[in-house]
A = this chain, B = another copy of it.
């Protein structure tokens, strides 16, 4: 066995929370109790911000029942951050790591966080400081490269699928056109999940629009009119980041005043503008009387009590694996999943990916998961995503 360096460890959580990000945190806390090389496990309050501000909580003596309750609780129990460290920020991190004799850094987050982990790791190597850095993926967007899927996605997909499944029954009860706006700035994985509760062709969502397939107003309206004239109703799932044919997001065009977060992303969540706009179009251009829109909003990443059991178990195990890798010698990386089994069977194996391969760039929905018309998903997508939800409610119908 390779040499295991002695010292302390830091764990942090970053980016938009999920309902299973605490599973991974608890996975790290649990596993590190069996890693004698680590003396103290310091939880950084609000990610890298807590490191530079030296705001830590000791995590080695938490009772198991508290850990289990924390694991089942949505969002980041240590607090999260949107900070993306630059060179100076990273140097500050090092000086704190040196001061606290930190030799292991576990960072739970999305691709921005993988990038942070990569930069910190690089600077550590350049400085000749022995530091082992492990990124544990989390994102409801499911847009990290290399890994088959990301912890957090299965639960968000379960929420979105159940929401749209119920909403479709509501729309069948009181027919009209319903627009559901779903999170996803660049990748349509979560919006695609709206399809997972469908049980037959008449079930909604009847149309799905994702950022990977730009769509004009004219095309979307023509699609809606076609479904509406056939079924007398239509449920539409649309990504908040849906783009027009000139590759400009609809949201950017619509929202007059845009707010930017510190990563330069345009702020689209937390507003009903896109849904209201599309609903208005359908009313005015198609003359449909009953048109409603919902923006599913932050519930998609934070709803309590409805996580995917598969996602919960995998996120916890991802935390365990990160510590296992840390305990096995001088390696760094990002915990990743590879799918095993096939056909009706679902399984994954864990492996360690290179940080550089995961950081920054996003993974879009591949072409084979999207239909030719650019307004729906394929059975291939459903076979990929359904197991991640842990199963969905069954619909009963009288006719």
List residues 23-68 of chain A with CB under 8 A from any CB of chain B.
43, 46, 57, 59, 62, 66-68
Report the separation of the CA atoms of residues A291 and B298 in the bound assembly, to the nearest whole angstrom.
12
Known: A269-B292, A306-B305. A68 touches B396 (CB 8 A): yes
| B residues less than 8 Å from A399 (CB atoms) | 57
Q: Do B398 and A43 have beta carbons less than 8 Å apart?
A: yes
Taking CB as reference atom, which chain B residue is nearest A275? B272
Taking a contact as CB atoms under 8 Å apart, the answer to whether A273 and B270 are in contact is no
Residues of B within 8 Å of A398, CB to CB, are: 43, 57, 59, 62, 66, 70, 77-78
> Are A293 and B276 in contact (CB-based, < 8 A)?
no
> Which of A122-130, A160-168, A186-194, A371-379 faces chain B?
A160-168
- Compute how far the CA of A296 lies from the CA of B295 in the bound complex, rounded to whole angstroms: 8
Is B72 a contact partner of A174 (Cβ separation < 8 A)?
no
**Contact status B74-A301, CB under 8 Å:** no
Closest B residue, CB atoms, query A57: B399
Kindly list chain B residues whose C-beta atoms are within 8 Å of the C-beta of A279. Answer: 270-271
B170 touches A17 (CB 8 A): yes
User: How far does the alpha carbon of A141 sit from the alpha carbon of B162 in the complex, in Å?
Assistant: 22
Among candidates B170, B269, B302, B394, residue contacting A166 with C-beta atoms closer than 8 Å:
B302
* Chain A positions 316 through 327: 1 when the CB is less than 8 Å from some CB of chain B, otherwise 0: 000000000000
Answer yes or no: A334 CB below 8 A from chain B CBs.
no
Let me know if B394 and A69 touch, CB within 8 A.
Answer: yes
Residues from chain B with a CB closer than 8 A to the CB of A291 are 270
List residues of chain B with CB within 8 A of the CB of A16. Answer: 174
Docked pose: A271 CA to B275 CA in angstroms: 8
Q: What CA separation (Å) do A82 and B13 show in the bound complex?
A: 48
A294 touches B292 (CB 8 A): no
Which B residues are CB-close (under 8 A) to A275? 270-272
Chain B hits for A276, CB < 8 A: 271-273
With A69-B395, A299-B294, A398-B70 as known contacts, state yes or no: A173 contacts B270, CB within 8 Å: no
Q: Out of B13, B74, B270, which one reaches A292, CB within 8 Å?
A: B270
A66 contact set on B, CB distance < 8 A:
396, 398
Contact status A270-B298, CB under 8 Å: no
**B74/A169 in contact, CB under 8 A:** yes
Chain B nearest Cβ from A84, distance in angstroms:
14
- Chain A 368-399 near chain B by CB (<8 Å), digits 1 or 0: 00000000000000000000000011111111
Taking a contact as CB atoms under 8 Å apart, the answer to whether A167 and B62 are in contact is no
Task: Decide if A241 is an interface residue (CB 8 Å cutoff).
Answer: no
A297 within 8 A of B: yes
Q: Is A76 an interface residue (CB 8 A)?
A: yes
| Residue from B273, B294, B301 within 8 A of A297 (CB atoms) | B294
Q: Are B75 and A396 in contact (CB under 8 A)?
A: no
Residues of B within 8 A of A178 (CB): 298
Query: At the interface, yes or no: A172 with Cβ under 8 Å from chain B?
Result: yes
What's the nearest-Cβ distance from chain B to residue A179, in Å? 9
Residue of B nearest to A45 (CB): B399
User: Which residue of chain B has the shortest Cβ distance to A304 in the bound complex?
Assistant: B166
Verify A166–B74 contact, CB threshold 8 A. yes
Chain A to chain B: the 5 pairs with minimum beta-carbon distance, closest first: A272-B272, A69-B396, A70-B396, A270-B292, A294-B297
Known: A81-B174, A296-B299. 7 other contacts (CB 8 A): A69-B396, A74-B165, A74-B169, A77-B396, A77-B398, A271-B272, A304-B392
Which residues of A approach B to under 8 Å, CB–CB?
A: 13, 16-17, 19, 22, 43, 46, 57, 59, 62, 66-82, 162-163, 165-167, 169-170, 172-174, 178, 197, 269-273, 275-276, 279, 291-299, 301-306, 392-399
13 A-B contact pairs sorted by A residue (CB < 8 Å)? A67-B396, A73-B393, A73-B397, A74-B169, A75-B169, A76-B173, A80-B174, A163-B303, A167-B298, A170-B298, A271-B276, A272-B273, A272-B295
